[in-house]
Amino acid sequence: MLLELSDCGLFIAADGAADHAASFGLQPDAILGDFDSLSDSSRAAFPANRFISAPDQDAADSEKAIQYALERGADRIVLLGALGGRLDHTLANLSLLVRNEPVVDITVREEWGGAAAVGTMSPRQFRLTPGDTISVLPITKAAVVSLKGTKWLLNRARLEPGSRGVSNVVVSNSVEVTVEEGVVLVVWSYADYQS
């Protein structure tokens, strides 16, 4: 369950992601980045006015894409393809979720599941399916978390970095995560993709 592009108000391809968009016959509204990983064939596949140069070497292309979306008024951002490939890029993309958590709802979605950061702003609902797996991992030194819709409920539980919040089983169509203190990374995987 990735995302229907008809649900998107603005479809941004960050640099080399335009290659993937072209391979699926998709037309991004904007192609943004320094274009160091964009193929010549993808350059030719899209109108020139879709390319937005963002050569800042102090920010990764995914960070530039988030900033571009925020400048255009986005209140919800979904990143696709942000957790594959290099570990440093994966960790950097996850850190963007944490950094932007109080500002905007950012979710990473992959074919196998996804991730989101949850802080103290408000409870967060995740539409999942019974049998899916969800993990709640503190990003701060500790977090106070409540969890509903899972086999093992949490009620204002203090979680510290480690494995205590890993691999809970979803038992309803919605999981609610409430954080009273700290910030957590919520990671889920769909039952169909679990080994």
* pLDDT tens string 60-114: 888 889 999 999 999 889 998 888 778 888 888 888 888 877 667 889 998 899 9
- Contact between residue 14 and residue 64 where contact means Cβ atoms under 8 Å apart: yes
Which residue ranges make up each domain of the chain? 1-110, 113-195
Q: Comparing 1-110 with 113-195, is the CATH topology the same? A: yes
pTM for the whole structure = 0.84
Q: Domain spanning 113-195 has what CATH number?
A: 3.40.50.10240
CA distances from 161 to 19, 51, 88, 143 (A): 37, 41, 20, 9
Return the CATH number of 1-110, one of 3.40.50.10240, 3.40.50.720, 3.40.50.2300, 3.30.540.10. Answer: 3.40.50.10240
What pLDDT shows up at residue 43? 82
Taking all residues of the chain, what is their mean pLDDT, rounded to a whole number?
Answer: 87
What pLDDT shows up at residue 194? 62
